[in-house]
Chains A and B, each alone.
Chain A
Amino acid sequence: MSENKTLLSRNGKATTVKSTFSRQTSISTDINADASIVWALLTNAADYPRWNSTVISIDGKIAMGEKINLKSTLDPKRTFKLKVKDFEIGKKLVWGDAMGERVYTIKNNQKDGVIFSMSEKIGGPLFPLFAKMIPSFDSSFEKFAADLKKEAEIIMTSK
């Protein structure tokens, strides 16, 4: 999957685009914090459960080429075995498996903060067979973005 090219409104609301063979959920929000803080939060695997209400655990190291095991509140009994596929420090992080990829991007918003965007596209030839079994990502994406924004802004305004 590639980064969502559509221009998302930065309102922290998820949008999902469905087609026969794929589904893509995207979200974007402004975060009033330095990019280094947002990046540090996104790449510290062990720390996720402390601030992110959608993640139960991430085992492994989030770095280029590394494999991680992610447990999400979306499907708590399942462990997603993912590989970090792109890792551009402070800018872009991609992890995924054969089913799809999650893309995180961080860009300056020209106002001492950043635009954080996240998208995930899942799909393939067999997608129509199991599409109905996969829950919506919208609520989870909104929680993820809101948690990240809250945590990064708390850190940024700390003394």
Chain B
Amino acid sequence: MTVELLNREFESSKGQLKSYLLRITASVNDAEDIVHDTYIKAVDKLNTFRGESSLKTWLFTIASNLAKDNLRAQRRWTENITDITKSAALQNKEFFGEAMHIAMTSPQGQFEVKEHIAFCFTCISKSLPLEQQLCIFLKEVYEFKVSEISEILNTNEAMVKYYLHTGRSKMINIYDGRCALINKVGVCHQCSELNGIFNPKQNTQQELMKIDLVKEAEKGDKEHLFDLRMKILKEIDPFESKASELQLHHLEHNRQVMEKYLEKN
């Protein structure tokens, strides 16, 4: 293995690596720092790479270990995170002022419901135990095989299956109780409410019906709805999308609010 080959693989995996790290840390700064540290460590340890896994799997292993070191010291978020952060945002005039400014001036400041669905999953998944969260992203969004995830997380395949199964079940249960997109009595309408604020001329109901997750909701197949939610995440790069600046601003707000909330509670 040469540094040239590593550089080539790193460049091709960098986008996915960065979005994975953002989704598990909920912090742009942490994601960027860990991507950088992953490269430094990969170059440093290049002579230990034996080719038993792909280079991409190896890079995700290094990045996951660095992220876990960072995340283990932090408390997990709560599954009602959208309620907590909404309440904080409503009391924070600056937040909406900044968001409106981004929406009006940035080419990556468009509000889109699908982007918010992906953003929402990032936030709520931080209520899962860390291993469950990592397994879900690695399998459902970044499409690693169970055997590869067992290498990345240094555990056996049976435990990867356990984390995936329990993590999926918990997220399905949370969304079933909260998400008004798939459950008429769901308590959270945040994506529709924000669409009304940022896109006042749009008919929000018509926009929602363009989304497979919403169209399929009446059939009530919860596993399928979860897969459709994951499809939305797969299609969105949180750093490059048309809504990225707006959503990253919102994510930073939520991270700060949750850090303060968890300190107090």
Q: Which residues of A approach B to under 8 Å, CB–CB?
A: 33-34, 36-37, 40-41, 44, 47, 50, 154-156, 158-159
Contacts and interface: CB of A to CB of B under 8 A. Distances in A.
A38 to B, nearest CB: 9
A47 B166 contact: yes
5 contacts: A50-B170, A50-B173, A156-B158, A156-B161, A158-B165
Given A156-B161, A158-B161, A34 B146 contact: no
A37 B161 contact: yes
Contacts of A158: 161, 164-165
Q: From DSSP, what is the main secondary structure of chain B's interface residues?
A: helix
B156 interface: yes
Q: Across the A-B interface, give the 10 residue pairs with the lowest CB-CB distance, nearest first.
A: A34-B158, A155-B165, A40-B162, A37-B162, A36-B158, A37-B158, A155-B161, A158-B161, A36-B159, A155-B162
Contacts of A50: 166, 169-170, 173
Nearest to A151: B165
A156 B158 CA distance: 6
Contacts of A44: 166
A34 B165 contact: no
B146, B156, B165 — which one has the most chain A CB atoms within 10 A of its CB?
A: B165
A36 B165 contact: no
Given A36-B158, A47-B166, 12 more contacts: A34-B158, A37-B159, A37-B162, A40-B159, A40-B166, A41-B162, A44-B166, A50-B166, A155-B158, A155-B165, A156-B158, A158-B165
Nearest to B145: A159
Nearest to A33: B158
A34 B158 CA distance: 6
Given A37-B159, A37-B161, A40-B159, A159 B166 contact: no
A44 B162 CA distance: 11
Interface of B: 146, 156, 158-159, 161-162, 164-166, 169-170, 173
Contacts of A47: 166, 170
Contacts of B165: 154-155, 158
A47 B170 CA distance: 9
A33, A155, A159 — which one has the most chain B CB atoms within 10 A of its CB?
A: A155
Nearest to B169: A50
Nearest to B159: A36
Contacts of A33: 158
Contacts of A34: 156, 158-159
Contacts of B159: 34, 36-37, 40
A159 B162 contact: no
A34 B161 CA distance: 11
A159 B158 contact: no
A40 B158 CA distance: 10
A153 to B, nearest CB: 11
A44 B164 CA distance: 14
Contacts of B158: 33-34, 36-37, 155-156
A36, A47, A154 — which one has the most chain B CB atoms within 10 A of its CB?
A: A36
A91 to B, nearest CB: 16
Contacts of B146: 159
Contacts of B162: 36-37, 40-41, 155
Nearest to B168: A158
A147 to B, nearest CB: 14
